[in-house]
Amino acid sequence: MYLMESEEESRRLLEQEQSQDTRDVLLRTGLKPGDRALDAGCGPGGIAELMVERVGEGGHVTGVELHEGRVAEARTRNAHRPNVTFLQADVRTTGLPSDAFDYAWSQYVFEYLPDRDVALAELIRVTRPGGRVVVSDIDGLGFQNWPFPEHLRVGTQRIVEALAARGFDLYVGRKLYSEFRRAGLTDVRVHLMPFYLSPGAAEARLVRDWKTRFEALAPVGAAVLGGLEAYQAHCADFLAMLEDPEGLKYAVTLVTEGTKP
Beta bridge mates, 251 = 196
CA–CA gap between residue 101 and residue 85 (Å, rounded): 13
CATH classification of 9-259 is 3.40.50.150, yes or no? Answer: yes
Predicted model pTM: 0.90
Residue 7's contacts (CB-CB under 8 Å, 6 or more residues apart) are none
pLDDT at 21: 84
- Cα 38 to Cα 62: distance, rounded to the nearest angstrom: 5
List the domain boundaries for the chain: 9-259
Closest CA to 29 of 10, 45, 50: 50
Q: Mean pLDDT, 10 residues at a time, over the chain (261 residues)? A: 51 56 92 98 94 97 96 94 97 98 98 96 99 97 94 96 93 98 98 93 93 94 97 98 96 97 98
